[in-house]
Structure 1
Amino acid sequence: MSETSELQLRAIAKLFRLTGWITFWSQLVLGLVSGGILLFASFSAGSRTAGAANTANNSGAGIGIFFAISGLVVLGIGIFISFRYVRIGRQLDSSNSSNRPRKLETVQVVRLGLIVHLVGILLTLIGAQAIVGILLTKSLTVSQIIPGTITQVDPSRVIQPLDIFVVQANTNTVSAHFAGLVGSIWLLNRITK
């Protein structure tokens, strides 16, 4: 192998390692924060609805949280793929050419990363749409409290701070998938030149 192509290979190996670590850590941190919020919301929602008589108003929240958790599961796969980028970078940097992955295998891994993150974004956005739809319904159906009158407000119809945390968890998950998507597109662009 010529020295120029060896230098290009080393540069690509370094790019894989750097991109892999950046996307790995950004996705891991955002995913852990989202997972913690969704775990807390799942347990809190379960305890809130166990005592509430009217859970029909929150029927979409369950499906929204399901899709949000599905997006997190797919994010776990994306985190693994980001770590795989680091391993590919190490293999490309190997002095033994038989340890290096072929270009086709490398491109397939990067394409898999693209597909995983696009599916993750889709699932998380579906979850976000369901949750925001529920919040919109809650905000439109809450009865107006007139000063000086005594009114009974159904607590399941009031937007709780936990509802906003779930929206934040979805936003973090979409951001994590976006980071992985950008990293995969960047790598695909660099190795297919």
Structure 2
Amino acid sequence: MTKADSPTLREIASTFRLTGWISFWVQLVLTVISSAILLFASISNRSPTTSPGTSVGVVLTVCGIGVLGFNMFWAIARYVSIGRRLDGVPETRPKKAEAIQTLRMGLIASLIGTLLALLGAEAIVGLLFGKAVSQGVAGFVNTDPAKFIQPLDILVVQASINVILAQFCAISASLWLLNKMSRQ
């Protein structure tokens, strides 16, 4: 048994494949849920006046979902692929530096997606705070229904938080694999 065929290498290959698939499925489920919530919110929002905070927040959250699409592709196309190549013919095995570079790229994408989703959530929460303050001002009677916090507003916040959670899962998967690689 050579070093290339060691149990450690097989364990790393298996870890890459398993982590890639788990990361893919967790991100897919959370992405579908977030997308469905945002689609439902956009269809259900029949208000003639749309708050700019909601629009910016939704756009940033949708951009975070776009990055999740890349992350899901990365989990399957790169992490699972590296796991398969590590188990394959020694000449086709990726070098450690290539695997680490792949993990870094996944981390960078996940961090960008997290930033976009966090900014989207901040914009939406800021808008909700403004609505809450305008409802609670003493002596002020608000009759404009667009200024009230609606259950749909909370769903949009939930969509942003789901995107952040999915990005967190992608970051965790990349860090887990990086940790396994550094132990080799």
TM-score with structure 2 setting the length: 0.91
Superposed structure 1 runs of 4+ greater than 4 Å apart: 143-146
Unaligned runs of at least 5 residues, structure 2: none
Cα displacement (A) at 1:152: 6.5
1:165 to 155, 174, 182: 155
> 2:143 aligns to what SS in structure 1?
coil
Whole-angstrom distance in 1 between the partners of 2:120 and 2:3:
51
Unaligned runs of at least 5 residues, structure 1: none
2:86 to 88, 92, 98: 92
Cα displacement (A) at 1:21: 1.1
Which structure 2 residues correspond to residues 22-101 of structure 1 after superposition, within 5 A? Answer: 22-45=22-45, 47-49=46-48, 52=49, 55=50, 58-83=51-76, 84-94=78-88, 96-101=89-94
> 1:36 aligns to what SS in structure 2?
helix
Contact 1:142 1:153 in 2 (8 A): no
Cα displacement (A) at 1:4: 7.5
1:6-64 deviation line (CA, Å, top 9, x unaligned): 2211110000011111111101100110011112222333x322xx4xx4xx1111101
Whole-angstrom distance in 2 between the partners of 1:143 and 1:105:
56
Q: What is the one-letter code of the residue matched to 1:168?
A: Q
Distance 1:108 1:35, change over 3 A: same
Distance 1:152 1:189, change over 3 A: closer
Contact 1:16 1:85 in 2 (8 A): yes
Q: Percent identity?
A: 46
> 2:75 aligns to what SS in structure 1?
helix
